[in-house]
Structure 1
Amino acid sequence: MANIIAFVRDSLTNMVASLGTSRDKAAANVYSMPMLTDEELLNAYRGAWLPKKIVDIPAFDSIRAWRDWQAKKPQIEAIEAEEKRLNLMGKLLETRIKARLWGGAALVIGTGDQDLAAPLDVERIGKGGLKYLTVMTRRHLTAGEIDRDPASEWYGKPKVYQLKSADGAQVEIHPSRLVIFNGSQQPDEDIVTTTYAGWGDSVLLSVVDAIKQADGTAANIASLVFEAKVNVIRIPDFMQNLGNAEYRAKILERYTLAATAKGINGDLLLDKEEEYEQKTASFATLPEVLMSFLQIVSGAADIPATRLLGQSPAGMNATGESDLRNYYDRLQAMQTVEMTPAMARLDECIIRSALGSRDPDIYYEWAPLWGMSEKEKADVFKTKADAARQLVGTGTGQEIIPRDAVSDALVNTFIEDGSLPGLDAAIEEYGKLSEQEPEEEEVAAAAAAQQAQQTPVVQRKPTADAAPRTLYVRRDVINRSDIVRWAEGQGFTDIVPDLHVTIAYSRTPVDWFDMGESWSPRLEIAAGGPRQMDSLGGDGKYKALLITASELVWRHRAMIEAGASWEWPEYQPHITIQIGGDVDLSKVEPYRGKIVLGPEIFEEVNDDWKSAV
C-alpha cells in the first residue's frame, strides 16, 4: 500500500511540474547534441532571414575592406590585377559563406598539375602559373585519414581529401593545394562524431535554439495582433438552450446580422437582457520582449545588434558604436589568426603568378574595417603629413630620414589608402619631389617678393624670444605675370600689386613657433580643378579668385588648433585680384592655369594695409 501511495504522489508531482513532457523545465539543464541535416540547414538559410544574416554578415565583413599590398607601385598593380583575374574576393566570400553554413569549405588552388595528391611546390609557380580557383564544400570533399604524426605540419588534420570526379573515379587532393575554412571548429576529433569527419560544424548549430525562440516569439506577437480586440456578449440562458438546434440557428443568424450592422464603428443592437463587453490586448511591453530575444540571438551569433538588426537597441542597451568597434576588432583578429595562415600558400602563389618571382619585401596588411568619417580621415592625413615633416626636419641638414625617401614613402601611403585620388597619375605627369627644380625666374621672383616685403620667412629662435604676437601668414604668387595677363584680358584694370593667398589672420596674439612649418617652401597648384570668381567682404568690393589647395587648408587648420583666431565663418583659399571697380564677375572666365606660391611669410597684423594698397 505504501508503494502505491508513493507512486501516485510521484505521478501527481510529475504532472504538475510537467516533468518528462515537452514543457519540462528541467530539460533546460541538460545539454544534448543538436543535429541539423543538410536539408534543414539549407531550408533555414534560404527561408529565414536570421540564419542567413548570421551566416553571411561575418563572412562578408571579413573581406569587404580587403587588404593593402605593400610593395612598389608596378608590383602592387600586377598583384591586384592577378587577384581580379582569378576573382579572388568573390571566390573567398563564397568559400567563407559555405564554410559557415555547412561547417567546412575549401578553395582549390589550380596550377595545372596532373598529380593533385602530391604536395604543392610553391617555388615552381611561374608567371601566370595560377590557372583557376574552385570552391568546394565538405559535401564534395571527403576528408581522409587523420595525420597523427606530431612532427607533421598536418597533425590532427586529414592527410588527403577525396573528390568524386564526373566519371565516378576518386581523385585525391593534398591539403597543401587547398585553402581550408571550417565553420565552427570542433574541440576534439576523438570525442566528436559527425556525418562529415575532418570538418567543423555549421555556425547555426549552436544558435538554432535562440533563433527558434526569437522566431516563435515574433510569430506569437504577430498572431496576437489578430486577437487585439475580442467582443464578449453575455446571453441569458445561453448554455441551457444551446442543445436546441432551432435555437442555435437563430443565435447564429441573430449575431451575424448584429456583426454586419455594427461593422467597425457602427451601432450594435442588443436585447435589454444581453450584456456586451469588449476586451483588448496590451502591446506596451511586447517590443522589449521581442528585442530581448533578438539580443540573445545577437549574443549567440557574436554579431552586435547594430549590425545584425540594422539598428541599435534603445535605452540602457544603446551601446551600438562601441559594440560595433569590438566586433570589427574581433574580425581583424580573426583575419590575422585564421584567414592569413589559411591563405599563406595561395598568397605566395599569387605573388609568383603575378610577378614571375618572389620579392621578399612584398607583404600585405588587412585594411581597417571601421570606416572613418571625413573629419577623421582629414585628421589622420594631417597626422601623417606632420609626422613626415618631423622626419625631414627643417631642411638644415638635420633630417632623420632623407627628404626624398620620406616623400616617396608618403606618396605610396596616400595612393594606397586613397587619401589623394589621382595622385599616382599626377606624380607621373609632374614628377617626384626630387625631380622638381624651380625655374630661375621663379626663384628670382620669390626672392624679390620676399625682399619687397622686407620680412624674412620666420626662423626658429630661442624660446625666450618667442613672445606672443598677432599673426598674419601669406604665400605670395610667384608667377604673377601669368595671372596679370589673364586678369587684364578679362577687363581688370587696377590689379592688386602683391597677389597672394592668406593662410592666417589672427588678432589674438600667439607664439609664432607653435604654428609649425609648411611641408615645402614652394607650393605649386596644378592647372584645372575647381576655380571660381566671387565678390568677398561685407560690401563685396574684393574681387577674388577662389581656388582649392589642401596644403593651404591643412596649414590654416593647424594654426587655428595652435591658438590662432579667425574672424570669418570658414576658410576659403583665394587670391584677391582687384579691390573695387565695376567688373561684372558673371562674365569673367576664372583663371585655370598653374599657380605657383612662394614660402610662408609671417608678419604681425597690420590694420593699415588697405591704405598701402
Structure 2
Amino acid sequence: MGNIITMARDSLTSLVSRMGTDRDKAATTFYSHTYLTDEQLIAAYSTSWLPRKIVDIPALDACRKWRDWQAKKPQIEAIEEEEKRLNVKGKILEAAKKGRLFGGAAVYIGTGDANPAEPLQVDKITKGGLKYLNVMTRRQLSGGETERNPESDWYGKPKLYTLTGANGQQIAIHPSRLVLFTGAMPADDEITNNPWQGWGDSVLQSTLDAVKNADSTAGNIASLIFEAKIDIIRLPNFMASLGNEEYKRKILERYTLANTSKGINGTLLLDKEEEYESKSAQLAGLTDILMAFMQIVAGAADIPVTRLLGQSPAGMNSTGTSDMKNYHDRIQSMQELEFQPAMARLDEAIERSADVRDPDVHYRWSPLEQMSEKERAEIFKTTADAARTIVGSGTGQEIIPREAVSDALVNRLVEDGVLPGLDAAIETYGNLSEQEPSEEEIAAAAATQASNTNNVTRMQRAANDAAPRTLYVSRKVVNAADIIRWAKGQGFKTTLPADDLHVTIAYSRTPVDWMKIGEAWQSELKLAAGGPRLMEQFGEARVLLFKASELEWRHEAMESAGASWDHEEYQPHITISYDPESPDLADVEPYQGEIILGPELFAEVEEDWQAGVSEE
C-alpha cells in the first residue's frame, strides 16, 4: 500500500488558479508600518483640500455647538463668562485639529504656579485663579518616561512632559496640567517603535493613500480633458522626409496655416493625398470612477460623502439622513468618550475659577442637528400636553403635584428656548408655587373641605362635577381699531364694531364639561406681524385667515376633552364684514400687522347669534 500524505490547511487553496499558493499574486501583498514626517503632514494639510477637511471637519463639528451647562442661571452665566474670557472653545478646537494632524497636541492649564512639574491642585484654585490656556503640539511637547505603576492614574502615559523653548530651554510639565488630544490611537508603542513617545498617530496616517489615489485620479481626468479630441493627419513619405530641414519648416508653416484657416472658417484645407482623422476620448463614466475613489476617502476618514464634499445627496429617494445621523452619533461618541474625559480637570478648574462649587453642576453636549420651527412647535405642544395629562383636571388625584410639574415644565421650556425671555418673566412674576391662590380657588377649596373631601389641594375647584353644557370659546381682538382702519383703507364701507371683532376657538353644540377644558396658558396672546394671511368668504362673511399654532393647539385640546366642531378642520380667522357690497376679495391686500387677542371667554352656544349682528 502506498504512503498516504495528509495535508492540513487553514485557508482556501486552489492549485488550478494558484490561489493560496506561493505563486498567488495576492500573496505578495502585505502591510508595513511607515510614518509620515512632519514635513509631509504639513505639506498635505497645507496644499490639498481633502487632507485639510479630514483633519478639520470632525474637530469642528465636535466643537461648533459646544455644550449646555445644567445649573442655576447665575452659575451658568458665571461659567460661560469664564469660558469666554479664556476662549476655551477656540483653544479646544485648535488643539483638537492639531492633535488630529500631528497625532498629539495639548492645552496647557495656566494657573501662575511657580513649578509646573508638580501636579495641578484643582481644589486650591480660587475665583479668577485660572489665568490662561495655551495650545502646544507634540513638536514642542515631548513625553518622558512612561508610567508603569498600575496603581497610578497615569499608567501608560509619560510621567512628565518636556516643553522645549525657543532658546533650547526645557520645562517639565506634569500631565495633570494638560488637556491631551492624541489623534488616532497607536496600536502599541513598543511594537511599532512610535518615535513620538506618549502621543498617537496622525489621522492622515491611515487615510493618505486613499487621498492620494483620489487626487491622482482627479488630476488624470483633468489632463484627459485636454486630450479629449486629437486630430490625426497622414502624410505621404512623412518619416522619410524629416531629415530635410526645409521640409520640416514647410510642414510647420503648412499646418499652422491649416489650423488658422480651420479656426476662422471652420474648414481644414489639405492636399488631396493627405488623410485627416479626428479621434475623441470617451469621457463617459469618469465621474463615477472619481466618485468611487471619493467614497473610499470618505470611508477611510469616517465622514459622509455629503459632509466631506459639501453636496446634496444624489439618487432616487436619497436624503442622506441616515448617513448624517450615524455621523452625528459618531461625533457625539467623540465628545463623550474623548473630549469630556480629557477636559475633566479643565472643567473643574473653570468652575472654581468662576466661583461655582456646586457638585450638581454638569453639562450636556448640544445636539448637532437643528430643529425646524415646525419641529420645535410640535415638541412644545407635546410637552405642554404631557404636562396637562400628568396634572389632570385639578381634582386632587394627580400623580405629580401641579406645582412640581410647573417648575419642571418651566425648566424644560427655558432649556429648549421655545419661549424666549421666559426665565426673566418667571423672575418678575414668580412661578406657580410662589403665587397666592385666587379668591375663587380659596372658596372652592373651602367648599370641598366642608363636604369632608380629603387631600384638598391649592388648585382644587368646587365645580368639578358641573353639568355638561354647550360651549362657545372666543378671544376678542384687543387692537381692533388697527384692523378696522386697515379694512376701511381696503374699501370696506362697513365692518363689525370693534367690540365684536373676535377669534372663535370652540363652537360645540355637543354638551361638554367646561372644567375638563381647563385654562389657557396665556391670558393675552400676541401674534407677530406677517406670516401667512389670506382673505376668504365663509358663507356671507368676509374673513381674515391667519396662522396661529397656539389657537390650533387649544382647539385640539378642547376637542380631546369632548367638544364638537361642525367643520372638517379648524382655521383661525377674524370676521371683518357681512356687507354684500364689500370689495372683491381678490383686490384686498390682507392685513399684515400684529394681532393682539384678549383672554378666553367661555359662554354657551347661541343658535340665533346672527340676529344680533350689526355693522358700522
Give your verdict on TM over 0.5: yes
- 1:37 Cα deviation from its structure 2 partner: 1.3
- 1:537 Cα deviation from its structure 2 partner: 4.6
**Cα distance 1:109–1:611, how it changes in 2: closer, same or farther (>3 A)?**
same
Contact 2:162–2:172 (Cα < 8 Å) also in 1? yes
- 1:308 Cα deviation from its structure 2 partner: 0.3
Residue 503 (1) aligns with residue 512 (2)? no
**Cα distance 1:557–1:339, how it changes in 2: closer, same or farther (>3 A)?**
farther
Q: Matched residue of 2:413: which SS? A: helix
- 1:42 Cα deviation from its structure 2 partner: 1.1
- 1:522 Cα deviation from its structure 2 partner: 6.1
1:62-108 alpha-carbon deviations (Å, 9 max, x no partner): 12111111111221122111111111111111111111111111111
Distance 2:278 2:331 in 1: 54
Residue 299 of structure 1 aligns with which residue? Answer: 299
**Cα distance 1:518–1:310, how it changes in 2: closer, same or farther (>3 A)?**
farther
Q: Matched residue of 2:600: which SS? A: strand
Letter of the structure 1 residue corresponding to residue 405 of structure 2: V
1:151-182 alpha-carbon deviations (Å, 9 max, x no partner): 11111111111112455432211111111111
Distance 2:72 2:57 in 1: 33
Distance 2:46 2:558 in 1: 57
Contact 2:536–2:544 (Cα < 8 Å) also in 1? no
Contact 2:142–2:196 (Cα < 8 Å) also in 1? yes
Q: Matched residue of 1:148: which SS? A: coil
Contact 1:55–1:100 (Cα < 8 Å) also in 2? yes
Contact 1:109–1:133 (Cα < 8 Å) also in 2? yes
Residue 416 of structure 2 aligns with which residue? Answer: 417
Residue 397 (1) aligns with residue 396 (2)? yes
- Residues 507-586 of structure 1 aligned to structure 2 (within 5 Å): 520-521=519-520, 523-525=522-524, 529-530=528-529, 537-538=536-537, 551-556=550-555, 571-572=571-572
Residue 224 of structure 2 aligns with which residue? Answer: 224
Distance 2:527 2:372 in 1: 27
Residue 101 of structure 1 aligns with which residue? Answer: 101
Q: Matched residue of 1:377: which SS? A: helix
Contact 1:108–1:136 (Cα < 8 Å) also in 2? yes
- Residues 459-470 of structure 1 aligned to structure 2 (within 5 Å): none
Distance 1:318 1:103 in 2: 36
Contact 2:555–2:570 (Cα < 8 Å) also in 1? no
- 1:282 Cα deviation from its structure 2 partner: 1.5
**Cα distance 1:88–1:324, how it changes in 2: closer, same or farther (>3 A)?**
same
1:95-126 alpha-carbon deviations (Å, 9 max, x no partner): 11111111111111122222211212222122
- 1:381 Cα deviation from its structure 2 partner: 1.9
**Cα distance 1:580–1:112, how it changes in 2: closer, same or farther (>3 A)?**
farther
- Residues 473-484 of structure 1 aligned to structure 2 (within 5 Å): 474-476=473-475
Q: Matched residue of 2:393: which SS? A: coil
1:503-537 alpha-carbon deviations (Å, 9 max, x no partner): 35689x9x979x997674563226795499x9955
- Determine which of 595, 598, 602 is the counterpart of 1:595: 598
Q: Bigger shift: 497-506 or 55-64?
A: 497-506
- 1:227 Cα deviation from its structure 2 partner: 0.4
Distance 1:589 1:370 in 2: 32
Distance 1:487 1:130 in 2: 58
Contact 2:530–2:592 (Cα < 8 Å) also in 1? no
Q: Matched residue of 1:33: which SS? A: coil
**Cα distance 1:500–1:305, how it changes in 2: closer, same or farther (>3 A)?**
same
Residue 87 of structure 1 aligns with which residue? Answer: 87
Residue 146 of structure 2 aligns with which residue? Answer: 146
**Cα distance 1:612–1:592, how it changes in 2: closer, same or farther (>3 A)?**
closer
Residue 203 of structure 1 aligns with which residue? Answer: 203
**Cα distance 1:592–1:207, how it changes in 2: closer, same or farther (>3 A)?**
closer
Letter of the structure 2 residue corresponding to residue 151 of structure 1: E
Contact 2:147–2:155 (Cα < 8 Å) also in 1? yes
1:123-148 alpha-carbon deviations (Å, 9 max, x no partner): 21222221111111111111111110
Q: Matched residue of 2:232: which SS? A: strand
Q: Matched residue of 1:326: which SS? A: helix
Letter of the structure 1 residue corresponding to residue 598 of structure 2: I
Contact 1:522–1:597 (Cα < 8 Å) also in 2? no
Q: Matched residue of 2:117: which SS? A: coil
Distance 2:66 2:543 in 1: 44
1:449-474 alpha-carbon deviations (Å, 9 max, x no partner): xxxxxxx999799xxx99xx9x9762
Residue 283 of structure 1 aligns with which residue? Answer: 283
Distance 1:578 1:317 in 2: 48
**Cα distance 1:528–1:30, how it changes in 2: closer, same or farther (>3 A)?**
closer
**Cα distance 1:522–1:64, how it changes in 2: closer, same or farther (>3 A)?**
closer
**Cα distance 1:518–1:311, how it changes in 2: closer, same or farther (>3 A)?**
farther
Distance 1:364 1:222 in 2: 49
Residue 373 of structure 2 aligns with which residue? Answer: 374
Residue 169 of structure 1 aligns with which residue? Answer: 169
Residue 339 (1) aligns with residue 339 (2)? yes
Q: Bigger shift: 231-240 or 315-324?
A: 315-324
Distance 1:580 1:594 in 2: 24
- 1:594 Cα deviation from its structure 2 partner: 7.6
- 1:565 Cα deviation from its structure 2 partner: 7.1
Distance 1:410 1:583 in 2: 47
Q: Matched residue of 1:41: which SS? A: helix
1:566-598 alpha-carbon deviations (Å, 9 max, x no partner): 8589834x5657765999999x99788783335
Distance 2:208 2:319 in 1: 25
How many residue pairs get aligned? The number is 562
Q: Matched residue of 2:172: which SS? A: strand
- 1:310 Cα deviation from its structure 2 partner: 1.2
**Cα distance 1:230–1:612, how it changes in 2: closer, same or farther (>3 A)?**
same
Distance 1:299 1:317 in 2: 22
- 1:198 Cα deviation from its structure 2 partner: 0.8
Contact 2:71–2:362 (Cα < 8 Å) also in 1? yes
- Residues 383-394 of structure 1 aligned to structure 2 (within 5 Å): 383-394=382-393
**Cα distance 1:287–1:488, how it changes in 2: closer, same or farther (>3 A)?**
closer
Distance 2:194 2:538 in 1: 82
Contact 1:476–1:498 (Cα < 8 Å) also in 2? no
Q: Matched residue of 1:183: which SS? A: coil
Distance 2:565 2:242 in 1: 91
Contact 1:560–1:566 (Cα < 8 Å) also in 2? no
Q: Matched residue of 1:230: which SS? A: strand
Contact 2:475–2:597 (Cα < 8 Å) also in 1? no
**Cα distance 1:72–1:336, how it changes in 2: closer, same or farther (>3 A)?**
same
- 1:483 Cα deviation from its structure 2 partner: 6.8
- Residues 200-279 of structure 1 aligned to structure 2 (within 5 Å): 200-263=200-263, 266-279=266-279
Contact 2:33–2:192 (Cα < 8 Å) also in 1? no
**Cα distance 1:246–1:527, how it changes in 2: closer, same or farther (>3 A)?**
closer
Distance 1:108 1:439 in 2: 58
Instruction: Give identity over the alignment, percent.
Output: 56
Q: Matched residue of 1:236: which SS? A: coil
Distance 1:222 1:561 in 2: 65
- Structure 1: give runs of 5+ residues left out of the alignment: 1-23, 445-455
Q: Matched residue of 1:31: which SS? A: coil
Contact 1:496–1:579 (Cα < 8 Å) also in 2? no
Normalization by structure 2: what TM-score? Answer: 0.79
Q: Matched residue of 1:538: which SS? A: strand
Contact 2:480–2:498 (Cα < 8 Å) also in 1? no
Distance 2:549 2:437 in 1: 21
Distance 1:224 1:335 in 2: 44
**Cα distance 1:113–1:516, how it changes in 2: closer, same or farther (>3 A)?**
farther
RMSD of aligned C-alpha atoms? 4.4
**Cα distance 1:499–1:301, how it changes in 2: closer, same or farther (>3 A)?**
same
Letter of the structure 2 residue corresponding to residue 296 of structure 1: I
Q: Matched residue of 1:101: which SS? A: helix
